[in-house]
Amino acid sequence: MTLKMFNALSSEIALGSLLECCHSRVWAERLLAHRPFKSLQELNTLASQVWFSVQEPDWLEAFSAHPRIGDVAVLREKFSVTASLEQGQIEEASDAILFQLADLNQAYLDKFGFIFIVFATGKSAATMLALLQERLPNSRSLELENNTLEQDKITTLRISRLFPEEENIG
């Protein structure tokens, strides 16, 4: 889809497309109010500005739409073969790492009341585990901030994927 096509969509369909990028209704409605978008860069800039202007319930709504990482079978499938773009290697996640990820994701949810969000693209299971271990001792307010920052990165990527024909330049 192009931005021109997106700008011509009905509000309902355009809203649905934005909710696929970040599942916060308030965020999507506020962003949609800025249509028409002139460039992908403008859209991503506005998406971030709107994201950081919404409130905690809106962030939590977006977080809740992510799949909860706690099922070892799902983790095994996700990390069975992870290509490291930087080193060009293939890494297999051990069961021990997968069980730790599942356990610590549950501990994170229990402690903070929302799931662990991280921009996972290109990250191995071991890297995800290290990030989770690093963030678990944090306060709830710091983790809410960390999750919002990570969600913003995820949303930017998803918006770029929604408009593969557009270039992210002004």
Average pLDDT per consecutive 10 residues, the chain (170 residues; last block may be shorter): 95 97 98 96 97 98 82 58 32 74 93 93 87 97 98 96 73
Tokens of 33: 């109010």
In a domain, 22, yes or no: yes
Among this protein's residues, is 66 annotated catalytic?
yes
In a domain, 167, yes or no: no
Task: State which residues form the domain around 25.
Answer: 3-62+154-162
Count: domains in the chain: 2
Tokens of 71: 């099922």
Same domain, 58 and 76: no
Q: What is the per-residue pLDDT for 89? A: 27
Same domain, 97 and 45: no
Detail the DSSP E strand segments found in 27-161.
Answer: 82-84, 89-91
Single out the catalytic residue among 35, 60, 61, 66: 66
Q: pTM of the predicted model, to two decimals?
A: 0.85
Tokens of 8: 């011509």
Same domain, 71 and 41: no
Rounded to 5°, angle at Cα 26 from 118 and 65: 40
Same domain, 104 and 136: yes
